[in-house]
């Protein structure tokens, strides 16, 4: 059987050749080990560089609204792992893109690597070379990383992102074609695993955790800008009429930024973890987001981005609802 | 050295509504402490600030020959400008400046000067005109072409009327569309400039106005025979520090706050980012 | 400068740092939650020098903090002050970052206006630069003729030779500082070891790309759709600018009411759309294309125009920190190899 990358390239070439799509948002190999990079493919030749693997960590749905505006009238192909696909569904529901304007190329996701976890495993030493298990379903779990004077083998479960460890939807809920075979659902995984440790904390400790994370925030907004659902023309943080919280790096202000952003994405967040991976200083507020999604699921029986039919709780979700769960 | 971020307190000595729609107000300010020496030339600007609201840059509309006050005309558009519009006589505000460069008046001496303005960007052109008039015999012909959308949006209407009476200024006023009671020119500034066709020989042109006006006026001047080195304009960019540190206002390698706001067209043509 | 090179046994590092911290407000690389940045030396505190390649955040924050009070006001009264504590010393800065500080000296303290806040922290400050025995794959300081053992701008240069540092005074300030210590001179063998380390480090650097003609190239390519291609994936965040040791852009904001509050400055970035958003509704840099082009032009063209030097020191932080792996080296290579199609 052809590898997933070969199949992906083949299908992409075909879509372009048959003019089913004008361009494809995908990934190609990045300039660093363990990094792939978003890639906008316009020609069949470029399609030959497409890849999908454990390093395809960006949420490509982010680019849909922009690519759409910059290429009016074009039909856009997009490579979607589970969470990208759910974001696309959410964007369609929210009227940011039209279903008929996009062609979803589903890929079976085995999770994406958290480079920070790898960095911990190597004791801070730089990774210079890696070899990844072949996808999909090869059963391969070993990731070999090499650097100056070391060569270690990691089990992929040790270094996958937290959100991937609890992922229930490794395949996009909606697709026009699928590369390889959809993965078996991973209901065996605990959806809210990332919360386990967090929920054992007292509310004081939780607050301290958030405060500590927020205190390191440099307000580069990479998290917001990497999030496919943060597409507001004017983000609340940039509001000047009135400007209701400070723009500096004090944790009292950065906390407001993160909490309000969490509220803005409540019931819409697909737990892709793109914001956590984007952060250049390693801030992990994932528990805040996952906690909210859990709450939304328990209160409204809703999980974002699974189907075009379900009306999201947004309309009925009142921001004045009791929000004791945040703390 | 003085801390360039700290404003000097100035007192608002006069407030006047400038336009019929009240979006423009003119403020005269004077220094609280008399020792404050404030040397500037037409074309320079200041940062005006209200504590708790912020700072914004404004061209100085008065001439250094008017020693008693500094004048600014403010278009109400956002946070700071709205707060400024609430000012009353006697209020204290902060001022930083003078900032930026000025019109190259030294080079104008003994030559003709053509001043072309549009809308409320006439502020520093007023400063220039008053300065030239105060030293009238040092300059040859002075031509002023000034346009606004309608008569009520022309700045400094009393003064314009006085200038019209002077025999030593060629003043052409124009509005975009005809209205009852207007007996002067009608038409956009670039078109009117073309009609008037000021003679480029031994002349300098200074153009200030909204970007579209500048965009269409510059080619007219070139066509008339003004070389780019003899056409000056004043640019606007969003600014914060006003002293070339905050990195906000550059066009290519030039900081508008420091190297400008006055540039010759020739200089601008050499800047990669200038889209004229 | 004196030819004298001293030797500091690692066992005596603590004492040396203590000596420094008596005279200086000492900052050194400190690890908090896996993140390395320059932090103040606390009594009994130790630098995090194991697995130290470079700090995640640039040392510029010591002299140009992300948030700084320009003035405070209450009632009609306005107050302002600049840094007045002990002079600052930075221990263990990498050569690229030392160069970054020198470039920011030029931005903030040269020219018509002097920035009093930068100046106050920089005055009498001491830079102790540590050579890089093990450059990262993302390090490209050598493109700018700097390199892992570049001494430019430093007061004292340190080379890690295993169980000791070679300590070389590089300025009067550095000499004076070392005069107060009882460090012994380094032996010829020590110097040989250091030389070997240096040679090894330099040869381990990635391939060097010639950038002397980059500025002209950039100007020639201003209009090309190359910029569209390069910026396609850029998210317009500020990770690259805030991690950069030479980015100096800031915003000025008010905090408080009209009665009482502060006017502060905070880091800002040309990558944000709002950076150049004008009150009239226009924006000269409306899309990521213009903004990324600005960043590249500033580093590789405008800096040269204004200060005669590149505005990038090759520290590689923006490469490591960009959420979409937009690698500035690849941008440079793309600019170099772009073929203009005749139209
Ligand atoms: C050299 C120079 C000279 C000038 N001279 C004059 C003059 O003589 N007279 C005059 O009236 N003006 C002048 N201006 C323009 C004036 O400085 C601006 O109008 C002023 O800065 C607006 O400030 P503000 O606080 O009122 O507006 P802001 O509140 O800062 O902004 C108002 C508008 O700007 C945009 N904007 C700003 N910030 C944001 C944001 N965070 N998010 C989204 N949109 C945003 C929006 O469109 C908003 O409605 C000059 C400018 C320069 C550079
Ligand atoms: S990416 Fe990280 S540092 Fe940047 S704003 Fe988000 S949490 Fe803060
Ligand atoms: S280059 Fe990378 S870090 Fe910089 S703004 Fe773009 S996405 Fe953010
Ligand atoms: S542009 Fe990037 S590599 Fe260059 S100095 Fe800045 S952060 Fe370092
Ligand atoms: S303009 Fe951009 S690249 Fe230049 S210093 Fe400012 S933030 Fe950095
Ligand atoms: S870029 Fe050069 S000087 Fe900077 S850390 Fe890397 S090797 Fe050292
Ligand atoms: S306004 Fe700060 S550089 Fe011009």
- Tell me the pLDDT tens digit for each residue of C84-113: 999 999 999 999 999 999 999 999 999 899
Determine what percent of chain B falls in helix, strand and coil, rounding each to the nearest 5.
25, 30, 45
Q: What is the pLDDT of residue A23?
A: 96
Q: What is the pLDDT of residue B18?
A: 94
- B238 C-beta closer than 6 A to ligand 7: no
Query: Could you report the predicted ipTM of this complex, rounded to two decimals?
Result: 0.93
Q: Which atom of ligand 7 is nearest to the CA of B258?
A: 4
d(C-alpha A66, C-alpha A87), whole Å:
15
**Residues B3, C80: C-beta atoms closer than 8 Å:** yes
d(C-alpha B259, C-alpha B253), whole Å:
9
In the 8-state DSSP scheme, what is residue A113?
B
- C130 C-beta closer than 6 A to ligand 6: no
Give the dihedral of Cα atoms C137, C138, C139, C140; nearest 10 deg. Answer: 110
Cα Rg for chain B, rounded, in angstroms? 18
Neighbours of C303 (CB within 10 A): 21
Q: What is the pLDDT of residue A7?
A: 94
Q: What is the pLDDT of residue B171?
A: 95
3-class secondary structure for A182-205?
CCCCCCCCCCCHHHHHHHCCCHHH
Burial C79-109 (b: 16+ CB within 10 A, else e): ebebbeeeebbbbbbbbbbbbbbbbbbebbb
Contact assessment for residue B218 and residue B207, using Cβ atoms and an 8 Å cutoff = yes
Q: Where are the alpha helices (DSSP H) in A203-302?
A: 203-215, 222-226, 251-265, 274-278, 286-300
Sign of CA dihedral B93, B94, B100, B104: positive
Peptide bond into B261 cis (omega under 30): yes
Residue ranges for chain A with pLDDT beneath 70: 1, 134-139, 185-189, 194, 241-242, 310-327
Q: What is the pLDDT of residue A323?
A: 44
Pocket test for ligand 3, best of C242, C326, C332 (most atoms within 8 A of CB): C326
Please measure the distance between the N-terminal and C-terminal CA atoms of chain C and give it in whole angstroms.
57
Q: Which of C108, C261, C305 sits opposite B245 (nearest CB)?
A: C108
Q: What is the pLDDT of residue C280?
A: 76
Contact assessment for residue A41 and residue A47, using Cβ atoms and an 8 Å cutoff = yes
Residues of B in contact with A239 (CB under 8 A): none
- C96 C-beta closer than 6 A to ligand 6: yes
Residue C135's closest chain A neighbor by CA?
A126
**Residues C114, B1: C-beta atoms closer than 8 Å:** yes
Q: What is the mean pLDDT of residues C20-34?
A: 92
Residue ranges for chain B with pLDDT beneath 70: 1, 33-35, 276
d(C-alpha A257, C-alpha A253), whole Å:
6
The continuous run of DSSP H or E covering A153 comes out as strand A150-155
Q: What is the mean pLDDT of residues C300-319?
A: 96
Give the Å distance between the CA of C296 and the centre of ligand 3: 12
Residues with CB under 6 A from ligand 4: C 243-246, 299, 312-318, 328
Residues of C in contact with A224 (CB under 8 A): 237
Residue reference for tokens 């072949």: A134
Taking one residue from B and the other from C, the number of pairs with CB-CB distance under 8 angstroms is 123
- C181 C-beta closer than 6 A to ligand 1: no
Task: Tell me the residues of chain C between 226 and 245 that have a Cβ less than 8 Å away from chain A.
Answer: 232-233, 235-239, 241-243
Number of H helices, E strands in chain B: 7, 15
Residues of C in contact with B49 (CB under 8 A): 263
Residue A129's closest chain C neighbor by CA?
C137
Q: What is the pLDDT of residue A185?
A: 64
Contact assessment for residue A118 and residue A127, using Cβ atoms and an 8 Å cutoff = yes
Q: Which atom of ligand 5 is nearest to the CA of C238?
A: 7
Pocket test for ligand 1, best of B43, B57, B98 (most atoms within 8 A of CB): B57
**Residues A58, C251: C-beta atoms closer than 8 Å:** no
Interface of B with A (CB under 8 A): 78-79
pLDDT at C80 over 50: yes
Give the Å distance between the CA of A10 and the centre of ligand 6: 42
**Residues C261, B51: C-beta atoms closer than 8 Å:** yes
């Amino acid at each position: 059987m052809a590898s997933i990358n070969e199949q992906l390239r083949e299908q992409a070439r075909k879509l372009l050749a048959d003019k089913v799509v004008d361009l494809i948002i995908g990934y190609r190999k990045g300039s660093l080990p363990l990094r792939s990079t978003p890639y906008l493919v316009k020609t069949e030749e470029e399609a030959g560089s497409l890849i999908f693997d454990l390093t395809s960590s960006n949420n490509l749905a982010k680019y849909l609204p922009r690519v759409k505006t910059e290429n009016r009238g074009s039909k856009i192909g997009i490579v979607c792992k589970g969470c990208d696909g759910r974001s696309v569904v959410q964007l369609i529901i929210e009227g940011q893109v039209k279903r008929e304007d996009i062609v979803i190329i589903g890929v079976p996701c085995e999770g994406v690597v958290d480079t920070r976890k790898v960095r911990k495993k190597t004791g801070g030493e730089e990774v210079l070379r890696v070899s990844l298990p072949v996808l999909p379903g090869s059963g391969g779990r070993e990731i070999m990383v090499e650097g100056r004077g070391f060569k270690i083998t990691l089990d992929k479960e040790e270094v996958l992102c937290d959100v991937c460890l609890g992922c229930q939807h490794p395949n996009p809920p909606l697709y026009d074609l699928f590369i390889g075979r959809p993965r078996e659902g991973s209901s065996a995984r605990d959806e809210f695993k990332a919360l386990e440790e967090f929920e054992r904390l007292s509310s004081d400790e939780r607050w301290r955790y958030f405060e500590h994370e927020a205190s390191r925030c440099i307000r580069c907004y990479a998290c917001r800008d990497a999030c496919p659902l943060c597409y507001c023309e004017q983000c609340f943080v940039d509001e000047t009429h009135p400007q209701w919280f400070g723009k500096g790096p004090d944790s009292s202000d950065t906390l407001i930024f993160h909490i309000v952003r969490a509220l803005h994405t409540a019931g819409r967040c697909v737990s892709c973890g793109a914001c956590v991976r984007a952060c250049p200083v390693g801030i992990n507020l994932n528990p805040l987001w996952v906690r909210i999604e859990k709450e939304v699921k328990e209160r409204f029986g809703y999980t974002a981005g699974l189907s075009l039919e379900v009306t999201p709780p947004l309309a009925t979700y009142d921001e004045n609802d009791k929000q004791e769960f945040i703390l | 050295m003085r801390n360039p971020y700290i404003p000097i307190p100035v007192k608002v000595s006069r407030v006047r509504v400038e336009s019929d729609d009240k979006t423009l107000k003119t403020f005269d300010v004077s220094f609280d402490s008399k020792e404050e020496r404030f040397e500037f030339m037409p074309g320079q600007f200041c940062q005006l600030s209200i504590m708790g609201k912020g700072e914004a840059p404004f061209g100085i509309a008065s001439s250094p020959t008017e020693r008693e006050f500094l004048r600014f005309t403010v278009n109400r558009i956002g946070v700071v400008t709205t707060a400024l519009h609430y000012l009353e006589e006697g209020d204290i505000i902060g001022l930083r400046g003078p900032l930026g460069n000025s019109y190259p008046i030294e080079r104008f001496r003994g030559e003709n000067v053509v001043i072309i303005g549009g809308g409320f960007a006439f502020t520093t052109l007023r400063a220039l005109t008053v300065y030239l008039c105060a030293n009238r015999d040092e300059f040859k012909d002075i031509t002023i072409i000034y346009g606004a959308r309608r008569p009520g949006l022309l700045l400094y209407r009393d003064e314009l009327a006085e200038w019209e009476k002077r025999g030593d200024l060629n003043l052409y006023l124009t509005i975009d569309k005809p209205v009852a009671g207007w007996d002067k020119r009608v038409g956009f500034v670039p078109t009117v400039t073309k009609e008037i066709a000021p003679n480029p020989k031994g002349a300098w042109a200074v153009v200030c106005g909204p970007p579209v006006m500048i965009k269409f006026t510059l080619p007219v001047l070139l066509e008339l025979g003004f070389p780019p080195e003899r056409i000056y304009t004043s640019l606007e960019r969003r600014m914060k520090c006003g002293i070339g540190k905050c990195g906000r206002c550059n066009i290519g390698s030039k900081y508008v706050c420091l190297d400008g706001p006055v540039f010759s067209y020739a200089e601008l043509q050499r800047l990669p980012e200038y889209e004229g | 400068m004196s030819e004298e090179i001293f030797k500091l046994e690692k066992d005596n590092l603590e004492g040396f740092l203590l000596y420094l911290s008596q005279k200086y407000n000492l900052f050194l690389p400190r690890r908090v939650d896996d993140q390395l940045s320059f932090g103040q030396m606390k009594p009994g505190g130790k630098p995090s020098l194991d697995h130290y390649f470079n700090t995640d955040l640039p040392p510029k924050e010591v002299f140009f903090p992300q948030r700084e009070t320009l003035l405070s006001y209450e009632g009609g009264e306005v107050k302002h002050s600049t840094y007045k504590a002990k002079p600052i010393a930075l221990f263990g800065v990498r050569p690229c970052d030392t160069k970054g500080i020198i470039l920011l000296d030029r931005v903030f303290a040269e020219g018509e206006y002097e920035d009093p806040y930068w100046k106050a922290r920089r005055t009498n400050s001491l830079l102790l630069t540590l050579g890089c025995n093990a450059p990262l794959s993302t390090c490209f300081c050598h493109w700018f003729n700097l390199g892992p053992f570049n001494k430019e701008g430093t007061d004292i240069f340190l080379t890690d030779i295993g169980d000791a540092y070679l300590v070389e005074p590089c300025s009067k300030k550095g000499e004076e500082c070392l005069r107060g210590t009882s460090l012994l001179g380094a032996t010829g063998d020590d110097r040989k070891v250091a030389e070997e380390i240096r040679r090894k480090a330099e040869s381990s650097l990635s391939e060097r790309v010639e950038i002397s003609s980059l500025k002209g190239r950039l100007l020639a390519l201003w209009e090309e759709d190359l910029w569209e291609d390069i910026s396609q994936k850029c998210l317009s965040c500020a990770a690259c600018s805030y991690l950069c040791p030479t980015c100096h852009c800031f915003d000025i904001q008010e905090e408080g009411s009209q009665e009482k509050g502060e006017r502060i400055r905070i880091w800002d970035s040309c990558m944000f759309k709002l950076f150049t958003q004008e009150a009239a509704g226009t924006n000269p840099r409306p899309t990521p294309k213009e903004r990324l082009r600005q960043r590249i032009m500033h580093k590789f063209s405008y800096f040269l125009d204004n200060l005669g030097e590149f505005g990038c020191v090759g520290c590689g932080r923006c490469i490591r920190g960009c959420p979409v792996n937009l690698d500035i080296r690849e941008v440079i290579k793309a600019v170099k190899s772009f073929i203009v199609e005749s139209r």
